[in-house]
Amino acid sequence: MSGHSKWANIRIRKGAQDAKRGKIYTRHARLVEMAARTGGGDPFSNNALKNAIENAKIDSVPNANIERAIKKGTGALQGDAMAEVLYAAMGPGGVACLIECLTDNKNRTINNVRTVMEKHGGRWTELGSVQWMFARKGVVVAKKSSWSDEMELQLIDAGAEDLDASEETIDVITDAAHWTPVRDILKNVGNEIIAAGLKYVPNQKTAINDLATAKQLQEFIELIEQDDDVSEVHTNEEIAENIIGDL
């Protein structure tokens, strides 16, 4: 199976975002809330809630935040209902972008995102003109502490479609239904899970070969992700290896 440099690109631009703990807590709380609203507040009978809680704990979200989000989702605490929305844009360098949002006010979200986008080199576009370039996949990224040929075969049997074990990380792509067993295999042998869940994985790439465009794109994505309603920006850029170190 071939390596996939897209995750190296993602890790470059996610560093600044991941430093903003409050933003991360908010995103996880909204995901927990939505899972509880859809399937109830018991993680033993609501697998989506169980996964949302586990992902929140990976990012060190306090238990009090998680419990409050569950209560909001079940109606034990009042609050406006959250909704998932997906927007599309073309970013600097002609890069396709899918913008995932969790919001209780769609008008506020679309106005804020569109304003930032158009001020920083992006162009709003119809969802259908971009979404076809991506597939919804399970993605698991772990810090590598244990690896073997036997484990690779176990991951393939569990549903891994593509995997890459570098010196530092293990990156696995599955179909939408099989990321949880892959996560559990890696976790059970001592690999620390960095990220796990569903993402939009590009099936058509846009090459970025100059540093100025790469920096403009990085800034563009980070500014959009600063909005509290934006949970993630997925892109199809492929940054040239010779300029990655300068970002």
Segment (H or E) for 125: strand 123-125
Task: Please determine, for residue 13, whether its predicted confidence score (pLDDT) is greater than 60.
Answer: no
Residue 33 domain flag: yes
Residue 183 domain flag: yes
pLDDT at 80: 76
pLDDT confidence of 20, banded at 50, 70, 90?
A: low
Distance, CA of 136 to CA of 245 (rounded, Å): 29
Q: How many domains does the chain have?
A: 3
Handedness of CA 203, 20, 25, 141 (dihedral sign): positive
Residue 220: CATH number of its domain: 3.30.70.980
Residue 21 domain flag: yes
155-176 tens-digit pLDDT = 999 999 999 888 888 999 999 9
Q: Are 142 and 171 members of one domain?
A: yes
Task: Please determine, for residue 15, whether its predicted confidence score (pLDDT) is greater than 70.
Answer: no
Q: 209: domain range?
A: 83-132+204-244
Task: Please determine, for residue 16, whether its predicted confidence score (pLDDT) is greater than 60.
Answer: no
In 160-188, which positions are buried (b, 16+ CB within 10 angstroms) versus exposed (e)? Answer: beebbbeeebbbbbbeeebbbbbbebbbe
**Which of the residue ranges 20-34, 79-93, 142-156 would you say has the lowest mean pLDDT?**
20-34
173-227 tens-digit pLDDT = 999 999 999 999 999 999 999 888 899 999 989 999 999 999 999 999 989 988 9
Give the list of residues 6+ apart from residue 73 with CB closer than 8 angstroms, or none. 32, 33, 34, 35, 36, 37, 38, 41
Residue 29: CATH number of its domain: 1.10.10.200
Q: Are 121 and 22 members of one domain?
A: no
Residue 236 domain flag: yes
Residue 4 domain flag: no
Which pTM does this prediction carry?
A: 0.81
Q: Are 138 and 173 members of one domain?
A: yes
